[in-house]
Structure 1
Amino acid sequence: MNWRQKVLDFDHIGDRGEGLKGLVFDIQKFAIHDGGGIRTLVFLKGCPLVCPWCSNPESLAGKPEITFVSNNCIGCGKCLEVCKAGAIRKDETGAKGLIIDRDRCTLCGQCAKFCYAGAINIIGRYLSVPELVTMIERDRKFYEQSNGGVTFSGGEPTAQPEFLKAALQAIQARGIHTAIETSSFVAWETFASILENVDLVLTDIKHMDDAEHKRLTGVSNKVILENIRNISRLGIPIKIRLPLIPGFNDSDRNLAATAEFVEQLSNVQSLDILPYHRLGEMKWGQLGQDYSLTGVPALTLEDVESRIQPFKDRGLNISIGG
């Protein structure tokens, strides 16, 4: 399956069982690069953008998904026995061990439950705000001692606006610092409501040219850039993040335009250059999807240093790697 054939299905989000629930695909503790201090990162599933370099492709679809890590498979055959949908079969070529028919899969989770080798997993679980807050509260001492807090990421966290807002309200009410990592591709009315309980925004700028942005990500950048201007006007602290992708957005012209745009903003704490890497490449295959940047080499520190002069010329506070 080509990455551009990904189907978003946000009907699955936010209504599982009683009360408001969000679809979470990971919670990482003791993070130190996503908003200051020691933080808990909460990754929400679903994203309206389709960036071909995405290192978290398991975050894109707005529904739970099944992944298969072929290297972990020991060929025990238990998953074939318990799959009542008949969605799993042996790979007769021997290339992968198993083939999963994701159209037939009902996501019942039985295969993952019995796969003690960890080859099959279900990505995405529904959590209520109280359940999430209970997990977060366990690390309060670390937040207080390090001036840390909680950062919501994704996917695109604003794709689950009701859950995100409720979670932010509950966390901020407990005196915990809040941040979001976002593409800023969201209706301003919705975004403004969410920002009421956000202490820091970490937002991407992927490309300054609207046509190129749409070609690369599937969406226009007009809403994104205007939202970033609005955040600046509100006085909310911002970290601008530029994923630097060779051959996509690293031209002199685009970098100069990005530097000019960032210079006009207020409350920008830093411009974080995020060099392209290939750490997420295997995940695409584990989801049964193609990775379109296969063969594109990761950027070295020297590569990045050679491209950031436009930002230095404008005196911007730059960090490499976030």
Structure 2
Amino acid sequence: MALKPKAAKKLLIFLGKSVLALVEAVVFAIIPKPRKNVAGEIVLITGAGSGLGRLLALKFAQLGSVLVLWDISQESNEETCKMAVEAGATRVYAYTCDCSRKEEIYRVANQVKKEVGDVSILINNAGIVTGGKFMDCPDELIEKSLDVNFKSHIWTYKAFLPAMIANNRGHLVCISSSAGLFGMNGLADYCASKFAAYGFAESIFLESFTKGQNGIKTTIVCPFFIKTGMFDGCTTGCPSLLPILEPEYAVRKIVDAILQENMYLYMPKFIYFIVFLKSFLPLKLGLLLGEYLGAFNLMDGFTGAKKKN
């Protein structure tokens, strides 16, 4: 059946834009994108008291950003604050915030807007992992995983996105996980929360894009396990393809992705291949791949619930 003129025109526009997007992707795969300047930008990092959040704070301190640090632990957060000043930050603000509580997020967010200004780069990094079999995991821990790993993203977006929309300028960074791309044994609640965070960030990007708010950028980060203490005791069955990542490497790649305004970052690169295979492999072959990579026993040595909120 022949396409109507209007439908044919839309198809041609789609194909033309697709070709341009592919060419752009190939070019930037060879030649890195120019980095944006974040000196003076107000960067808010949740879960800044330790691990990945602390390292991200130190990196942005070196880049001259104004830092807003959130963590549930006042002592750890203040330690990060001191380290950031030593790393070169001239303005650092530390706030104690329990990211599992909506009302507290809104309260502290209003305080930030009054005392610091409009956040221009929001990094949702706070997270918790329980690491138990689904039927053995207490309800309150499952709820906590969803509250911190996913729902906190909703409330921080509600708090800080309006100013970004008004200025048509900002950057939303979602620290998801490879567990937000495919299910993992012993991580049912964690996977659910990270899948949700990924889908939410992608949906908000599309909503902004369709409204013409092209100044608001999104970066979604999906790393394999990182040696931050959050997954102590976990092992990988294939370290050459799926290594437990060094924190410094992960932070360097994340900051590069933000500065180059990349939409997605998967680490290590083998994750891209797994996602590609998942799209067409029969379930049985997928299970065989998971068995080969040791994906069914990653959590065997895990020692208990850890959080980076």
Q: Normalising by the residue count of structure 2, what TM-score does the alignment of the two structures yield?
A: 0.36
TM, length-normalised to structure 1:
0.35
Where is the helix percentage greater, Structure 1 or Structure 2? 2
